[in-house]
């Protein structure tokens, strides 16, 4: 049997693409190596932008609504910056991803769980996909198989080694401890090179993690994590024995090609992760929708050309990523400086919150920060500015 589209991976990007394509009447087969619901290590804070793009309600899986954050520097000197409006939704990925997978199934996609894609063969008129359960053919293939995507690596030659490394644990906590930070995020700077630590409340759990760029952190991720949880008063007395590590393939190269011939990649597989906050779920969903539009427009053509996917992603997402990368360079190379800026100008974070709400761009937020920093005569700021202008 020849399918219209095979989707490898049923995270947010793959499930969204499968959902959109099946709704359009295409014959879609989707695989995931895991059986759902499955545990997925992730901070799990959705930006409000997700609400703007998902065409169905997901409120049933929200564990907590964040109205702001408490910022610390090496777990000291807390700065609570709380907004009047929500800034994000905390979810457990097992429930959120399962919801998206079920929506794809309801739309008509054929779902095969617990079946891993192990090889891809590109042919003239189809793509042959080999899995742990058999061999399947389709006119087109979407790689949505995450940070270590076999599709991205073998077909498109993307480099998985340039990444953020992260460790996370979900800790059961009593209501009293949860209520102390309910409705807010705890974010700590200075606890790891070029990254941050977090504590997010979720229903009956606390999501605790730390992340930093791999070539800065090297092999010390566990030591940084242990140092962070050891200093954090909100975690005192909790048993942090079950920890999970993963990699986050942040965006770094606007020249990358994420579509070729009959194959394209979405989400983490395409390195579509915000290099400032590390958010990937919104961009996975958005890229899945763009992929579905391009494919549905092109699949009936005699000669299928997916190159417009590269162009649309570059136009819609890359300018924001590039501005976010500049922010990351400031914040993570000079976390103490950033902390001083927050202490002096806490209103800046409302603009950042507007970015997560989809009401403001990273470009305008970055420009505002630079304009304010230029008025401060601190030596470190002047040195940073000289290196960037």
Per-residue pLDDT of the chain (389 residues; tens, 9 = 90+): 999 999 999 999 999 999 999 999 999 999 999 999 999 989 999 999 999 999 999 999 999 999 999 999 999 999 999 999 999 999 999 999 999 999 999 999 999 999 999 999 999 899 999 999 999 999 999 999 999 999 999 999 987 778 999 999 998 888 888 888 999 999 999 999 999 999 999 988 999 999 999 999 988 999 999 999 999 988 888 888 889 999 999 998 889 999 999 999 999 999 999 999 999 999 999 999 999 999 999 998 888 889 899 999 999 999 999 999 999 988 898 888 888 888 888 888 999 999 999 999 999 998 888 877 777 655 555 555 555 44
Residue 200: beta bridge partners? 207
Residue position matching structure tokens 């395409």: 270
Cis amide prior to 37 (ω within 30 degrees): yes
What pLDDT does residue 82 have?
96
275-300 residues labelled b (16+ CB within 10 A) or e (exposed) = bbbbbbbbbbbbbbbbbbbbbbebbe
Number of H helices, E strands in the chain: 14, 18
Domains of the chain, earliest start first = 2-44+93-161+254-316 (3.50.50.60), 64-91+164-248 (3.30.9.10), 334-388 (no CATH)
- Share in percent of the chain as helix, strand, coil (round to 5): 40, 25, 35
Burial class (CB in 10 A: 0-12, 13-18, 19+), 237: exposed
- Nearest 5°: the CA angle 82, 317, 16 is 85
CA distance 337 to 262: 47
Q: CB–CB of 186/76 below 8 Å?
A: no
Q: Where are the beta strands (DSSP E) in the chain?
A: 2-8, 28-32, 45-47, 62-66, 68-73, 76-82, 88-91, 110-113, 117-122, 127-131, 134-143, 164-172, 185-189, 195-202, 205-213, 244-248, 259-260, 263-265
**Stated pTM of the model:** 0.94
Residue pair 22/30 in contact by the 8 Å Cβ criterion = no
Whole-number Cα distances in Å, 22 to 15, 16, 58, 179, 285 = 10, 10, 19, 42, 15
Supply the pLDDT for residue 336: 85
d(CA 115, CA 191): 38
Q: Angle 309-313-317 (CA atoms, 0-180°, nearest 5)? A: 175
């Amino acid at each position: 049997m020849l399918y219209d589209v095979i989707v490898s991976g049923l995270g947010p990007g793959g499930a969204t693409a499968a959902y959109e394509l099946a709704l359009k009447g295409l014959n879609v087969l989707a695989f995931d190596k895991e059986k759902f619901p499955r545990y997925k290590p992730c901070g799990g804070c959705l930006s409000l932008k997700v609400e703007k793009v998902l065409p169905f309600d997901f409120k049933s899986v929200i564990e907590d609504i964040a109205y702001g954050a408490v910022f610390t520097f090496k777990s000291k000197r807390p700065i609570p910056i709380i907004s009047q409006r929500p800034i994000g939704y905390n979810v457990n990925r097992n429930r959120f991803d399962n919801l998206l997978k079920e929506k794809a199934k309801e739309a008509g996609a054929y779902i095969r769980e617990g079946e891993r894609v192990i090889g891809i063969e590109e042919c003239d008129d189809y793509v042959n996909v080999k899995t742990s359960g058999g061999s399947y053919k389709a006119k087109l293939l979407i790689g949505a198989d995450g940070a270590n995507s076999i599709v991205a690596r073998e077909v498109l030659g993307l480099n998985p080694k340039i990444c953020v490394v992260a460790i996370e644990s979900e800790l059961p906590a009593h209501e009293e401890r949860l209520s102390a930070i309910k409705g807010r995020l705890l974010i700590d700077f200075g606890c790891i090179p070029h990254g941050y630590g977090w504590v997010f409340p979720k229903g009956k759990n606390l999501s605790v993690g730390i992340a930093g760029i791999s070539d800065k952190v090297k092999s010390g991720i566990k030591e940084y994590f242990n140092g962070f949880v050891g200093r954090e008063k909100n975690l005192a007395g909790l048993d942090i024995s079950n920890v999970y590590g993963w990699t986050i393939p942040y965006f770094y190269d606007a020249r990358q090609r994420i579509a070729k011939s009959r194959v394209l990649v979405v989400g983490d597989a395409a390195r579509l992760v915000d290099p400032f906050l590390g958010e990937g779920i919104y961009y996975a969903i958005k890229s899945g929708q763009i992929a579905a539009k391009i494919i549905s427009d092109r699949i009936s053509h005699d000669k299928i050309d997916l190159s417009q996917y590269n162009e649309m992603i570059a136009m819609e997402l890359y300018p924001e990523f590039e501005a976010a990368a500049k922010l990351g360079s400031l914040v993570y190379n000079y976390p103490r400086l950033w902390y001083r800026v927050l202490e002096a100008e806490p209103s800046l974070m409302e603009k950042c919150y507007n970015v997560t709400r989809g009401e403001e761009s990273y470009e305008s937020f970055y420009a505002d920060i630079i304009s304010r920093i230029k008025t401060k005569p601190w030596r470190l700021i002047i040195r940073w500015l000289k290196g960037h202008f």
